[in-house]
Amino acid sequence: MQEVVAIVVFLIVIVAIMTEKVHRTAAALAGSVILLLTGVLDVDSAIGYIDFNTIGVLIGMMLFVAVVKNSGLFEYVAIKAAKMAKGDPWKIMVAFIIITAFLSGFLDNVTTVLLVGPMTITIARMLKINPVPFLLTQIFAANIGGTATLIGDPPNIMIGSAVGLTFLDFVANTGIVAIVSIIVLIIIMRFVYGSKLSADVEAIKSVAQLDETKAIEDHALLVKSIVMVIIVVFAFIFHSQIGMETATIALTCAAVMMVIGKQNIDHIVSEVEWSTILFFVALFTVVGGMVETGVIGELAHIILNTAEGHPIMMMMILLWASALLSSILDNIPFVATLIPLVIALGESGVDIEPLWWAISLGACFGGNGTLIGASANVVLSGISNKHGYPITFKDYTKVGFPVMIMTVVLSTIFLLVKYGF
């Protein structure tokens, strides 16, 4: 009975988010409360399913960015980038796709979009164009770029640590697919947005005349911000070597910036997207209901049993099932459930190396499928909404789902060429 309740609650929450009849935070919170009231979860187990590392990264980086923003650093970089691109929106879009994808290979995806997003909105306002196409392509690039490396996305970290795959192993497999996917993404976005990206001639002239140095509002804070941004980047890249969780790094750097930045703390705290934070807390709990009742585990068993004895078919099913499920489910509990099952297959004599790459590519690329498929999607859409540029579930999915299919098709070709023949 509890399995049925967990499934029904999850489906109702997803439908509510998709139709946008109810705000996504209210829908997720209502779902988590129902799970508590029906006894599917108690308070302790519900708290146990909340990924506090993700929540810590979100809060820490939002606070960090709120302080850094007051220095004028984002406006300075935005003006500089716009002038270098001669005000050409398409060149700006391509530049940010490449920058976002590269950074996401080494940083947490949320950190990447929190750093890049504000610059994008600033540039778009200068050129008097809609920033939504830029923000969408950055979401896609963040999720694709994060797939490329061992440290780029949580599923990769989980798989790598469980079976001893190295940074170079990921680069040689998922990295190749990610690079090709970014190239294809740029080509596709040229057809989707190319003709729509035209800035007003007067706006381009005015941007060319801007003095980026005048954007600096606080020189002392600027120096502190640049130093701390560099520390954040390197700390995230080497977090496993220094033995620190990414949330610890984000919160530490936020605390340091709030102390040395000497800004109005009440204002800085108000800049945090608290509705987004609450949405994640509630959604983790709703998915936790599916884990607690064994629904996620049963899904994993069904996927593996469907192609038992057919390694190539199993690889393909894992790839596509991981992608489709990760577009609506948190991929962390799903991947965590699959790992011991795949290891057990390996102990029975099955060559499981291709299966790891199938799971990694599917789980990471699947995040682009819908607006709730990955943390970066929710965070950047929240920032966009706050600045007056709403990104609806429907509008996102119209572009995001085809992008996800494209990347999974490229993954299919790669896996079949490398392991299928």
CA distance 36 to 40: 6
pLDDT band for position 421 (cuts 50, 70, 90): low
Q: Percent of the chain, pLDDT > 90?
A: 29
Structure token digits, residue 307: 């192609």
CA distance 346 to 352: 6
CA distance 151 to 70: 30
Backbone angles phi, psi at 320, to 5 degrees: -75, -40
Report the phi/psi class of residue 309: left, alpha or beta, with left for phi > 0 and alpha for psi in -120 to 50: left
Distances (CA, A) of 399 to 89, 137, 352, 371: 19, 9, 33, 10
- 3-state SS string over the chain? CHHHHHHHHHHHHHHHHHHCCCCHHHHHHHHHHHHHHCCCCCHHHHHHCCCHHHHHHHHHHHHHHHHHHCCCHHHHHHHHHHHHCCCCHHHHHHHHHHHHHHHHCCCCHHHHHHHHHHHHHHHHHHHCCCCHHHHHHHHHHHHHHHHCCCCCCHHHHHHHHHHCCCHHHHHHHHHHHHHHHHHHHHHHHHHHHHHHCCCCHHHHHHHHCCCHHHHCCCHHHHHHHHHHHHHHHHHHHCCCCCCCCHHHHHHHHHHHHHHHCCCCHHHHHHCCCHHHHHHHHHHHHHHHHHHHCCHHHHHHHHHHHHCCCCHHHHHHHHHHHHHHHHCCCCHHHHHHHHHHHHHHHHHCCCCCHHHHHHHHHHHHHHHHCCCCCCHHHHHHHHHHHHCCCCCCHHHHHHHHHHHHHHHHHHHHHHHHHHHHC
CA distance 125 to 78: 10
CA end-to-end span of the chain? 45
- Residue type present at position 309: G
Query: Which pLDDT tens digit goes with each residue over 259-272?
Result: 998 888 998 898 88
> In this structure, are residues 290 and 84 in contact, taking their beta carbons and an 8 Å threshold?
no
- Residue type present at position 110: V
CA distance 103 to 81: 17
Query: Which pLDDT tens digit goes with each residue over 340-380?
Result: 888 877 777 778 889 999 999 999 999 899 998 888 898 89
Instruction: Between 148 and 151, name the one with better pLDDT.
Output: 148
CA distance 97 to 186: 8
Unique residue bearing structure tokens 């469980």: 162
**Is the per-residue pLDDT at 394 higher than 70?**
yes
Instruction: Between 202 and 140, name the one with better pLDDT.
Output: 140
**Is the per-residue pLDDT at 64 higher than 80?**
yes
How distant is the alpha carbon of residue 320 from its chain centre? 19
Name every residue whose Cβ is closer than 8 Å to that of residue 312 and which is 6 or more positions away in sequence: 416, 419, 420
CA distance 172 to 128: 41
Unique residue bearing structure tokens 């003095």: 211
Query: Which pLDDT tens digit goes with each residue over 121-134?
Result: 888 888 888 899 99
**Is the per-residue pLDDT at 294 higher than 90?**
no
Domain spans of the chain, in order of start: 2-50+282-291
Interior CA angle at 114 toward 110 and 120, to 5°? 130
pLDDT of 91: 87
Query: Which pLDDT tens digit goes with each residue over 15-51?
Result: 888 887 888 889 999 999 999 999 999 999 999 888 8
